[in-house]
Amino acid sequence: MIELDRAGRTFKVKRATVHAVQDLSFSIAPGEFVGYLGPNGAGKSTTIKMLCGILTPSSGTVRVAGLDPSRRRTTLARRIGVVFGQRTTLWWDLPLRDSFDLIRLLYKVDRKVFDARLAELAETLDLGAFLRTPVRQLSLGQRMRGDLTAALLHDPDVLVLDEPTIGLDVVSKASIRAFLARLNAERGTTVLLTTHDLGDIERLCRRVMLIDHGRLAFDGTLEELMASAPGHATIEEVVTHLYTSER
Amino acid sequence: MVRTYLLLAWTWTRAAAAYPASFWLLVVFGCVTGALDLAVILVVFANTTTLGGFSRDEVLFLYGAANLAFTLCDLFVSNLDRISQHIKAGTMDTFLIRPVSPWIQIATDRFVPARFGRVVLAGAVLGYALGALDLDGRRLWMIPVMVGTGIVIFTALWTLAGALQFLLTDAPEVTSAFTYGSQQLTQYPLNVYGRDLVRGATYVLPLAFINWQPGLYVLGRDDPFGTPGFMRFLGPAAALVLALLAGLAWRQGIRRYRSTGS
């Protein structure tokens, strides 16, 4: 579903060349739920932006759902859902429900399919109380549930989440985690999740990838991740160990 | 494409309805700035009978034709020159994850119909000039052609301005020289400017084809700079070449887009 082959992206910053991501190769099969970890500035967001076609790779190849994202961006957009935890993709001044209607038209989703899908998402994410509220008046937790719905209305094969639980309280976090687990299990949606919240990883991801300094530093199951650093009991300790020892 | 444009424009119109005071202020402000440009021409002609050999009504014809094209583009595509703001704020990413051309999304972003007042003003000036001038009926077909050419050229200029902002993210004002600068230049008969400037506006950026060259044909005038007669008809070709270049620059801009942190 997602394939990277020696993908790299460089940025020129004041005449110096920075390798945000280099020689990155991995592949994710349909239906996988993968956690993507790494310290700040390691290249997580750069990777995600290459997957959606926002950034064109400087070297190597990227394939998502069989497409080259930067060349077939608008075609891919119908098959991928993207959530940025740091910023909304909704229309600030419109009621949530109007944003969804607009998404239906932009993604050309059949009205019956859309109505059924929205009803289902509204129920599982408990949107009913604020569907008529303008997005700017929503709380962070409500907005995130709105953003998740917006990313899923066109029933994408792949869902890419960039820090979806950032800044959320424990209750909101729990409801979003439960929702994602169900989505992956019941619909078989492939999910790639970046997060700094290791609870997300423990609760959701069978497979973990760790990126550091733009390179893949670990790729394996959660158990293998724990075993990779003997003497460290919790995931926090293991990840801290990996983040600091890789440097 | 048109459907998507209208859909997004309508969405922003509804969003703007949440701030009615701002809407009406923009309407008033737009009409005042438009009227000021017109007032300058009328003041000039209060003191003289010709400008570069052109009568007041001929100048108003050239002004009206160029400004009708300009104000339509100002209404419908001028938001393209706000790309640098979207790049800095990180909202550019959002446009790129949707299955719709980012060009349409940015052109419609925060679309405000308030600028429509200026279109009406420009159209009224053109209508008045056409009524006041005694034109050769066999040459009137050129008027819709020149307005159409002007729309394509101004749209291409805004697209170029937007594409350049991928490089000039920190100096977006530079690109206004193309758009608002071209509007200022085309308000008067080009022969009031120096020969070199007019050459540049003919062969480098084809601004002379917005209203000057086709306008000379409609008015039945020879070019004071002596360009050959066939130049009057090159507008559509020049507009297409510029549009093509603007399209290529836009593609390059998107491919070179660097996004922002996080």
State ipTM: 0.87
Cα separations in angstroms, B153 against A107, A160, B210, B230, B238? 31, 40, 7, 19, 8
Q: Contact A74/B99, CB-based, under 8 Å?
A: yes
Chain B contact present for A166, CB below 8 A: no
Amino acid letter at B181? G
Extents of the domains making up chain A = 2-245
Cβ-Cβ contacts under 8 Å, A91 against chain B: 11, 15
Q: Does A26 touch chain B (CB under 8 A)?
A: no
In whole angstroms, give the CA distance from residue B223 to residue B237. Answer: 19
Interchain CB distance below 8 Å, B96 and A93: no
Q: Confidence class of residue A227 from pLDDT cuts 50, 70 and 90? A: confident
Q: Is the pLDDT of residue B112 over 70?
A: yes
Q: Would you call B99 an interface residue with chain A, using a CB distance cutoff of 8 Å?
A: yes
Please write the tens of the pLDDT for every residue from B178-226: 899 999 999 999 999 988 999 999 999 999 999 999 999 999 999 999 8
pLDDT of residue B127: 96
Backbone angles phi, psi at B207, to 5 degrees: -70, -25
Residues within 8 A of B (CB atoms), A 122-161 only: 134
CB pairs under 8 A between A and B: 70
CATH code 3.40.50.2020 for A2-245: no
Q: What pLDDT is recorded for position A246?
A: 53
Report in angstroms the alpha-carbon separations of A198 from A5, A166, A232, A235.
27, 12, 15, 7
When CB atoms are compared, the residue of B15, B91, B97 closest to A82 is B97
pLDDT bucket at A82, cuts 50 / 70 / 90: very high
pLDDT digits (tens, 9 = 90+) for A136-176: 899 988 999 999 999 999 999 999 999 888 888 888 888 88
Q: Helices then strands (H, E): number in chain B?
A: 12, 2
pLDDT band at A83 (very low <50, low <70, confident <90, very high): very high
- Is residue B6 pLDDT above 70, yes or no? yes
Angle at which helices A96-106 and B2-16 cross, to 10°: 170
Residues of B with Cβ-Cβ distance to A77 under 8 angstroms: 97-99
Q: Indicate the residue type of B142.
A: M
| A236, amino acid identity | E
Distance from CA of B244 to the nearest CA of A (A): 19
User: B27: which residues sit within 8 A by CB, 6+ positions away?
Assistant: B114, B117
Backbone phi and psi for residue B189, each to the nearest 5 degrees, phi listed first? -60, 135
**Residues of chain A by 3-state class (helix, strand, coil), percent to 5:** 40, 25, 30
Task: Parse chain B into domains and list their residue ranges.
Answer: 2-256
Q: What is the pLDDT of residue B35?
A: 86
